[in-house]
Structure 1
Amino acid sequence: MTAHHTPHTTSERVGDLEPVGRRPSIKAERIAALLTAGDPLADAVIAELDLHGAPARRALDAGLRKGPAALGEQPPEAVAALLKQVETPPSWVDPLMLHRGDVVSLSVPPLWFGLCAVTTALAHTYASPAAARLLLRTGRPTKTALRELADAGVWARQTIRPGGLLRGAPGHVATVEARLRQARLRATALMDWDMGVPGLPIGQLDMARTWLGFTLLAHQALAAVGIDVTGEEERRLYQYWAYVAHLLGLDESLYRDVTDHAGARRLHHLLDAVTPSPDDTSRTATAAVIGAQAHATAQVPGAVLSEEQVRDLLHRILRRSLGNPAADRLRIPDVPAVTDLMPLISTLNRETRRWQTFSPASAQEARRQAAEEPEPAPEPIAAVLPLGVAFQHRSEVRRSGSPAA
Structure 2
Amino acid sequence: MTANHTPHTPTERVIDLEAVGRRPSVEADRMAPLLTAGDPLADAVIAELDLHGPKARQALDAGLRKGLAGLDERPPDAVAALLKHVETTPSWVDPLMLHRGDVVSLSIPPMWFSLCAITSALAHTYASPATARLLMRTDRPTPTVSRRLSEDGVWVRQTIRPGGLLRGEPGYVATVEARLRHARLRATALTDWDSGVPGLPIGRLDMARTWLGFTLIAHRSLAAVGIDITSEEERHLYRYWSYVAHLLGLDEILCKPVVDHAGARHLQDLLEAITPAPDDTSRTATAAVIGTQAHATSHAPGAVLSEDALRDLIQGLLRRSLGNSAADRLGIPEAPAVTDLMPLISTLNRQARYWQTFSPALAQAARLEAAEEPGPGSEPVAAVLPLGVAFQRRTGVRRSGTPAA
Distance of aligned partners of 1:273 and 1:170 in 2 relative to their CA distance in 1, 3 Å threshold:
same
1:52 aligns with 2:52: yes
Task: Give the count of matched residue pairs.
Answer: 375
Q: Does the Cα contact within 8 Å between 2:11 and 2:36 map onto a contact in 1?
A: no
1:332 aligns with 2:346: no
1:24 aligns with 2:9: no
The normalised TM-score by structure 2 is 0.88
The normalised TM-score by structure 1 is 0.88
Q: Does the Cα contact within 8 Å between 2:8 and 2:33 map onto a contact in 1?
A: no
More off after superposition, 52-61 vs 63-72: 63-72
Q: Does the Cα contact within 8 Å between 1:66 and 1:168 map onto a contact in 2?
A: yes
CA–CA distance in structure 2, aligned partners of residues 14 and 217 of structure 1? 22
| 1:36 paired residue number | 36
| 2:292 paired residue number | 292
| 2:142 paired residue number | 142
For 1:65-96, what per-residue CA distance to the aligned partner results, in whole angstroms no more than 9, with x for missing partners? 11112212111111001111112311111111
1:129 aligns with 2:129: yes
| 1:211 paired residue number | 211
Distance of aligned partners of 1:246 and 1:375 in 2 relative to their CA distance in 1, 3 Å threshold:
farther
CA–CA distance in structure 1, aligned partners of residues 73 and 59 of structure 2? 9
Q: Does the Cα contact within 8 Å between 2:28 and 2:273 map onto a contact in 1?
A: no
| 1:244 paired residue number | 244
Q: Does the Cα contact within 8 Å between 1:14 and 1:29 map onto a contact in 2?
A: no
For 1:27-47, what per-residue CA distance to the aligned partner results, in whole angstroms no more than 9, with x for missing partners? 333312212211000000000
Which letter does structure 2 place at the counterpart of 1:209?
R
Compute the displacement of 1:22 (Å): 6.7
Compute the displacement of 1:196 (Å): 7.2
Q: Does the Cα contact within 8 Å between 1:135 and 1:285 map onto a contact in 2?
A: no
CA–CA distance in structure 1, aligned partners of residues 173 and 3 of structure 2? 23
Gaps of 5+ in 2: 377-405
1:104 aligns with 2:104: yes
Compute the displacement of 1:2 (Å): 5.3
Compute the displacement of 1:324 (Å): 0.2
* C-alpha RMSD over aligned residues: 2.3
Q: Does the Cα contact within 8 Å between 1:2 and 1:40 map onto a contact in 2?
A: no
Which letter does structure 1 place at the counterpart of 2:255?
Y
Which letter does structure 2 place at the counterpart of 1:267?
L
Distance of aligned partners of 1:286 and 1:34 in 2 relative to their CA distance in 1, 3 Å threshold:
same
Compute the displacement of 1:135 (Å): 3.0
Q: Does the Cα contact within 8 Å between 1:238 and 1:259 map onto a contact in 2?
A: yes
Compute the displacement of 1:8 (Å): 4.7
For 1:237-270, what per-residue CA distance to the aligned partner results, in whole angstroms no more than 9, with x for missing partners? 0000000000001011110000000000000011
Q: Does the Cα contact within 8 Å between 1:2 and 1:41 map onto a contact in 2?
A: no
Q: Does the Cα contact within 8 Å between 2:35 and 2:202 map onto a contact in 1?
A: no
Distance of aligned partners of 1:357 and 1:137 in 2 relative to their CA distance in 1, 3 Å threshold:
same
Which letter does structure 2 place at the counterpart of 1:16?
L
CA–CA distance in structure 1, aligned partners of residues 85 and 374 of structure 2? 30
| 2:358 paired residue number | 358
| 1:277 paired residue number | 277
CA–CA distance in structure 1, aligned partners of residues 110 and 261 of structure 2? 22
Moved over 2 A (4+): 4-17, 19-25, 27-30, 193-200, 373-376
Compute the displacement of 1:15 (Å): 7.2
Which letter does structure 2 place at the counterpart of 1:57?
R
Distance of aligned partners of 1:188 and 1:63 in 2 relative to their CA distance in 1, 3 Å threshold:
same
1:172 aligns with 2:172: yes
Q: Does the Cα contact within 8 Å between 1:15 and 1:24 map onto a contact in 2?
A: no
1:305 aligns with 2:271: no
Compute the displacement of 1:190 (Å): 1.6
CA–CA distance in structure 2, aligned partners of residues 126 and 365 of structure 1? 35
Q: Does the Cα contact within 8 Å between 1:117 and 1:221 map onto a contact in 2?
A: yes
Secondary structure, in 3 states, of the residue corresponding to 1:164? coil
More off after superposition, 261-270 vs 7-16: 7-16
Distance of aligned partners of 1:315 and 1:11 in 2 relative to their CA distance in 1, 3 Å threshold:
closer
| 2:264 paired residue number | 264
Distance of aligned partners of 1:315 and 1:196 in 2 relative to their CA distance in 1, 3 Å threshold:
farther
Task: Work out which structure has the larger RCO, using CA pairs closer than 8 Å and 6 or more positions apart in sequence.
Answer: 1
CA–CA distance in structure 1, aligned partners of residues 99 and 6 of structure 2? 41
Compute the displacement of 1:195 (Å): 5.8
Q: Does the Cα contact within 8 Å between 1:313 and 1:341 map onto a contact in 2?
A: yes
Gaps of 5+ in 1: 377-405
CA–CA distance in structure 1, aligned partners of residues 63 and 375 of structure 2? 22
CA–CA distance in structure 2, aligned partners of residues 7 and 244 of structure 1? 23
Distance of aligned partners of 1:21 and 1:65 in 2 relative to their CA distance in 1, 3 Å threshold:
closer
Which letter does structure 2 place at the counterpart of 1:54?
P
CA–CA distance in structure 2, aligned partners of residues 268 and 198 of structure 1? 24
| 2:253 paired residue number | 253
| 1:78 paired residue number | 78
Q: Does the Cα contact within 8 Å between 2:7 and 2:34 map onto a contact in 1?
A: no
CA–CA distance in structure 2, aligned partners of residues 83 and 199 of structure 1? 26
More off after superposition, 236-245 vs 139-148: 139-148
Secondary structure, in 3 states, of the residue corresponding to 2:17? helix
Which letter does structure 2 place at the counterpart of 1:92?
W
1:346 aligns with 2:346: yes
More off after superposition, 127-136 vs 179-188: 127-136
1:66 aligns with 2:55: no
Q: Does the Cα contact within 8 Å between 2:295 and 2:307 map onto a contact in 1?
A: yes
CA–CA distance in structure 2, aligned partners of residues 282 and 233 of structure 1? 32
